[in-house]
Structures are given as C-alpha cells and as structure tokens.
C-alpha cells in the first residue's frame, strides 16, 4: 500500500542554529582547505627536490656531514644544478656536448619521441614569443557553447592552404587539469581574443570556473 503524501504543514523548518553551524563550517573549510593544499604542494615539491641530493657523493650527503637531513636543501642544490647547466649549454662547448647528447637520444626510438615532445612543449611555454600567451574564446565543442582556449599558433600553413581560409591553432585545456586538453584548428575570424591574463585563465580552468577574473577596467570593492 502506497504511503500518503505529507502535507506542507507537516514539514518542519530547519532550525536557525543548524544553518548558522553549517555556515561556520563552510567558512572554516574555505579558510583551511587552501592552506592545507598549499602546504601539501610545497612539501611535495620540496621532497621531490631533496631527491636530487642523491647526485652528491656519500661523504657530502647531509646525513654524513651533519648527522641529520636538512629539508629544503635539495631545493638549493637543484637551483644550482639548473643554473650551472644553463651556463654550460650557452657556450660553444656546452652546445656541442648537448648536440651529441641529443643525437644519442634520437637513436633510441621511444626515448626520442618522448624527449622531442617534452622539449618542444617546454620551448613553446618558456620562449619569449607570443605562443601560448593569448587567451581566446571559441565555440567548442559545438556551436552555441563557448570554451576557453590559448592561441598557440597564428597560422597553420598546410591546413589553411587546404581549407582555403586562414586557420589558427588553439589549445583547449580540460577543466581542473589544464595539462591535458585538445588542439583545435579554427578559422581566425571565429575566435575572440580576450583581455584575460594567462594566469587568470589558468585559475578559472583549475577551479572549474568558480574563480573568475574581474571585468577589465572594473574596480574590486
């Protein structure tokens, strides 16, 4: 036998104290969650950098010199290694050694593909060119639905020639994880350049649209 529906008068309102408690809990979570996440990320990278200390001889390890480990010392060591590597590869001898090293990697089928992909991505992001520096809006994945993307190439020669109109390359990242996404090639007139900064767009993507940049020219109260 089916139960009779309850009348509106039988519903009891939630006490005000319960709503106040919930509001306080949400406010506390909003304060502590970013702090905990920041500490966790910083600790993760510090521990990761500390692994570079294994490159040192055993007698120069912190445990040997001081009798205990020094958290964060790997960050300093990694910084020095990167700096010295940059100084080495910018001179003639370093460039020649780097060329020999890349030739050796290119002889290994799988390693060469991974190395070339990572190197190309790193050069495109860290270069001083305009690649990956323009935030655009485009209709994706279907007309009427707008997506956020990064202009990576202002001209795709072969595709433009075959379709008979100028085509640009746009990287459309996935929400929460912008390291993965899709490469789409669209006509130049179908993208809308935005005044949004690259960092602001990244924050919007990582938070799933919760954090949005202010309108250009507006003042935050």
Phi, psi of 116, deg, nearest 5: -65, -40
- Of the candidates 135, 159, 133, which has an alpha carbon nearest to the alpha carbon of residue 147? 135
**Residue 169: inside a domain, yes or no?**
yes
Joined tokens for residue 2: 């089916």
Instruction: Check residues 28 and 16 and name the one with the higher pLDDT.
Output: 28
Q: Is the pTM of this model over 0.85?
A: no
Q: Are 103 and 74 in contact (CB under 8 A)?
A: no
Q: What pLDDT was estimated at residue 128?
A: 46
- Of the candidates 214, 155, 213, 143, which has an alpha carbon nearest to the alpha carbon of residue 185? 155
**Residue 164: inside a domain, yes or no?**
yes
Average pLDDT over residues 158-174: 92
Q: What pLDDT was estimated at residue 217?
A: 63
**Residue 129: inside a domain, yes or no?**
no
Q: Which residue has the tokens 């279907």?
A: 142
Q: Are 72 and 50 in contact (CB under 8 A)?
A: yes
**Number of C-beta neighbours around residue 87 at 10 A:** 10
| Residue 108 pLDDT > 90 | no
Instruction: Check residues 44 and 218 and name the one with the higher pLDDT.
Output: 44
**Residue 148: inside a domain, yes or no?**
yes
Q: Which structural domain, as residue segments, surrounds residue 186?
A: 134-206
Average pLDDT over residues 38-43: 88
Q: What pLDDT was estimated at residue 98?
A: 84
**Residue 185: inside a domain, yes or no?**
yes
Average pLDDT, whole number, for the chain? Answer: 81
**Residue 59: inside a domain, yes or no?**
no
Q: Based on the structure, what is the number of domains in the chain?
A: 1
- Of the candidates 151, 140, 144, which has an alpha carbon nearest to the alpha carbon of residue 175? 140
Q: What pLDDT was estimated at residue 137?
A: 94
% of the chain exceeding 90 in pLDDT: 20
**Residue 154: inside a domain, yes or no?**
yes
**Residue 189: inside a domain, yes or no?**
yes
% of the chain exceeding 70 in pLDDT: 84
Compute the distance between CA of residue 101 and CA of residue 88 in angstroms, rounded to an integer.
Answer: 14
Average pLDDT over residues 41-65: 81
């Amino acid at each position: 036998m089916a139960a009779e529906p309850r009348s509106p008068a039988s519903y009891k309102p939630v006490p005000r104290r319960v709503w106040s408690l919930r509001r306080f809990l949400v406010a506390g979570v909003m304060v502590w969650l970013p702090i905990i996440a920041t500490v966790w990320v910083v600790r993760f990278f510090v521990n990761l950098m500390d692994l570079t200390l294994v490159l040192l001889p055993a007698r120069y390890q912190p445990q040997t010199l001081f009798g205990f480990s020094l958290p964060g010392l790997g960050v300093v060591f990694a910084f020095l290694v990167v700096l010295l590597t940059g100084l080495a590869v910018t001179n003639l001898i370093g460039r020649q050694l780097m060329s020999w090293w890349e030739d050796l990697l290119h002889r290994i089928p799988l390693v060469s593909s991974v190395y070339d992909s990572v190197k190309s991505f790193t050069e495109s992001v860290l270069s001083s060119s305009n690649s990956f520096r323009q935030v655009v809006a485009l209709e994706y994945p279907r007309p009427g639905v707008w997506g956020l993307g990064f202009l990576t190439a202002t001209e795709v020669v072969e595709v433009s020639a075959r379709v008979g109109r100028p085509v640009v390359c746009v990287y459309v990242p996935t929400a929460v994880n912008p390291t993965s996404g899709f490469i789409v090639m669209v006509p130049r007139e179908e993208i809308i350049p935005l005044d949004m900064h690259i960092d602001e767009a990244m924050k919007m993507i990582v938070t799933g649209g919760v954090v949005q940049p202010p309108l250009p020219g507006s003042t935050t109260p």
